[in-house]
Amino acid sequence: MMPTESEPVQSDIHMRDRAATRPDTKHSEETNQTSSPLMAASSDLKGNYDVFLSFRGTDVRKSFLSHFYAALAQKGIHSYVDSEELRKGDCIKPALMKAIEESCIAIIIFSEDYASSPWCLEEVEKIMECKEQRGLTVLPVFYKVDPREVRTPRGNYRKAMVKHENKFGRDLEKVKRWEKALLDAGSLSGWEFKDKDEAEADLIKRIVQEISMQLDRTPLHVAKHPVGIPRQVVKLKSMLNLESRDDVLMIGLWGQGGIGKTTLAKALYNDIFRGFEAPCFLANVRETSKDSKDLVHLQEKLLSELVRKDLTVSSVDGGINLIQQRLCRKRVLLVLDDVDDVKQLNALAGGREWFGKGSRIIITTRDNHLLTVHGIDEDHIYEVKTLWYREALELFNKHAFLRSEEIVIRRDLVDSALHYANGLPLALEVLGSFLCGRREQEWESALNKLAKSPDKTINGVLKLSYDGLEDYAKEIFLDIACFFKGRSIEYIIEVLNSCDFDTTIGVQVLVEKSLITKEWRKVQMHDLIQLMGMDIVKQECCDDPGRRSRLWLCEDVRDVLSGDMGTNAVKAIVLALPKTEAIYIGPNAFTNMRRLRLLIMINVHNSFQGPICLPNELRWFEWPECPWFPEFSSCPNKLVGLDLRKTNIQVVREQFKAFGNLKYLKFSKCPSVVCIPDLNLTPNLKELDLHGCKNLERAHESVAYHAKLQLLNLKGCSNLHQLPNVLQSKNLEILNLTGCSKLQIFPDIPDKIEGLKELYLKGTSIEELPTSIENLVSLENLSLIDCKKLANLPSTIYKLPNLESLILHGCSKLIKFPKEGDFSVLHGKTGFPKLQILGLEGCNLQEVEFLENNSCFPYLTVLFLSKNNFAKLPTCRQLHKLRALFVSECRQLQAIGKMPEQLEGLMADDCESLTSSVGQSNPYLANS
């Protein structure tokens, strides 16, 4: 069958929601035949014959062929030689076609009159077709013929082809196919025999040795059901660029345990290994190289496979030299499977110069960083991912259901099994095989059990990646598995850094080890890897959750806290309930948890009214709607993060006396907060979040000059009317005052502040900005949307060199945007050198003369001027970066000056006074 590449097809399994049926996987088995023949088990390549011999009978049958056939037989090589009876007539017989298809190697003996036989040409066409379609090894022998005579063709071969063209004039396509087959076969590497060069017996001996070596290379068993493999092999072959013989290429197959890296590598190896002078698949490198002695053994094995000699290696360094010496001229295919240490790569494939041109080195690993360290770039690293749904269903069906069975299974149970495996081939095979032959009740019981504790076989494979981690990375992994899957990377880093973990590098290591992934700035992991992590914690003490390092299940947390069962083993408690639930927590619940570092309680209501004493080691306390302010067993405490949003706690200065380590303080949506607390007591504070505190009226003066504060979020504090007179916080990066509708005065900025990048003043009652705004030299985003009382902007705003976005939509009192020349204190280069977006929609502008100085806006890309009252839009030809201009609903607008040629959109809807436009030739003008 001619192999084709196809999308995986939905299996014909018929299941029921409640009605019974028997799954049928016939269609799935058919779709699986799309793989290359070298891809599945070796049975696809093992034919009835070792060698098929193609020859012109009258030329060589009683001479070269008879000696060659005898030499092959003496070596035990089973060869196919046709009889004279089969060769009568012009049409090749089906028996010969079948013999070619069922052979492992084809030898074409190109003799002087070979091309004169249509029969021989049919054979060579069929042989080259099998080479292309199923990887048949083809070896030509040019017997007293120059290879160029075959390829071109010329000489006797040209004469023969002319005769065929005359004879088969009505079927010239056939002759063209023959010529193509001769060209392809004649271009292959083979043997050329001339009487004067060597004895015929010596040539036959060399050919038989090569055939023996080729036959010793048997394909690897890939998998019983290699579902999803063919489409990936196609991608990898493209990545390998097999047509190029000028380079040595290394590629990496990277992915989590059980995802099919080895299976894919075997399939790829089977598909291409016959095209290499020396192929070797070195399996289980991690498992077989525990120390340097093991590496020496692997070096010997590699040399034995690639050099075909048993060589003794005395040391790893000696093995490196020997590999380089023996392989630097060989075209090698080397697969190093399951590598987990760069020492293994250095010992077995340290550099591209070790191997001959055209060599390909394939490495499978769970560690992406290992590939990077070895010099493999991202374009040559292939991430092996979970199976598509249809492929997962097909693979599961093949293992779970046998044709002879008449067992009825509900669809929801099959869906549950697929959800559990989540596309992981190992899980699909193990689970499918385990459920095979079982009844519905047994399926239900098995799936319930697996939801609580993972399968040992699957778990063992996945846990290998965890076992290889350093201790700090293990701690980070277990915290993510038990608590933080699906949370933002930023949040995880904040929380775990508070515990003195190096979380940034730790998360990256977990990504490289295929234990977690980053998706849309969130951390995710495969469900089975999460179960593996949770199981590691459960195995710390199967019977007593109070003796485990982490608690996350409601029942366990309830038992431990209500019964004072916690011990020194407990490091973290994170309980996130879907809805509010009451859990009794007594005053001594945490007394024995001296190592507790995280306490996060979401939707937990505590019936105990008094404060509860917390251990001094606690680093992160997060409890929305907590009824009391935390107290600690000793002072000062080590708390880094305190999140008490939506509480009714009265915040007073004395509460923070022992909070010198605090970096994150979150009291958002707390109705009882009236004043920002004295931040002098929290000198290390980085973030203060009080958004939504509707009764907050004023800010403590310490906000103005706090040395380490980076984020101040007062969004929605609608009663805030007083800020300090000055702003001097050197490290403040984000100040959000959106919705502070009573705030009328923005502080003065007496000195340059290089930290502040984002300033949000939307919806405030600010009437003007201070001229000292120029001291916010790093400001990138300034929002003044709907500042209805803002009447003027200081001209010093032009001295904000890093401003990228300035938005003033809805500032209805703003009649004029300042021009750069409106003040005399400016010296040197000014303007907005980085401004990309300027928003002035609905600002009641009477004129836009500021645009006349085009040099102030060299990078302006989008300009919003809709709903204003100016009559003329000046020429803007020098705004070379402008792509979009909005002037819709400017009802006084009468004329538009010339616009830059690169303008992509000019929106001028409902400009009822517009009578002329100098730039009307612009095709993007929209004038309704």
Tokens of 528: 């089975």
d(CA 213, CA 52): 16
Q: Is 123 a catalytic residue?
A: yes
Question: How far from each other are the two terminal CA atoms of the chain, in whole angstroms?
Answer: 64
d(CA 279, CA 302): 10
Q: Are 864 and 833 in contact (CB under 8 A)?
A: no
Active-site residue, selected from the candidate residues 7, 29, 101, 123: 123
Cis link prior to 818 (omega < 30° from 0)? no
d(CA 775, CA 749): 6
Among all chains, which residue has been given the structure tokens 């004649």? Answer: 186
Q: In DSSP terms, which residues pair with 736 in a beta bridge?
A: 713, 760
Phi then psi for 577, rounded to 5 degrees? Answer: -95, 150
Q: Is 216 helix (H, G, I), strand (E, B) or coil?
A: helix
d(CA 740, CA 551): 40
Closest C-alpha to 488, from 469, 503, 475, 502: 503
Tokens of 49: 């014959």
Closest C-alpha to 505, from 530, 473, 464: 473
Sequence letter at residue 737:
L
Pairing relationship of beta strands 517-519 and 522-524 according to DSSP bridges: antiparallel
Sequence letter at residue 366:
R
Sequence letter at residue 621:
F
Write the CA distances from 331 to 210, 218, 249, 277, 353, integer angstroms. 15, 18, 11, 5, 12
Pairing relationship of beta strands 837-839 and 711-713 according to DSSP bridges: unpaired
Closest C-alpha to 190, from 106, 250, 114: 106
Sequence letter at residue 30:
E
d(CA 37, CA 230): 10
d(CA 348, CA 295): 8
Tokens of 750: 């007496």
Among all chains, which residue has been given the structure tokens 């250095």? Answer: 346
Q: Which residues are catalytic?
A: 123
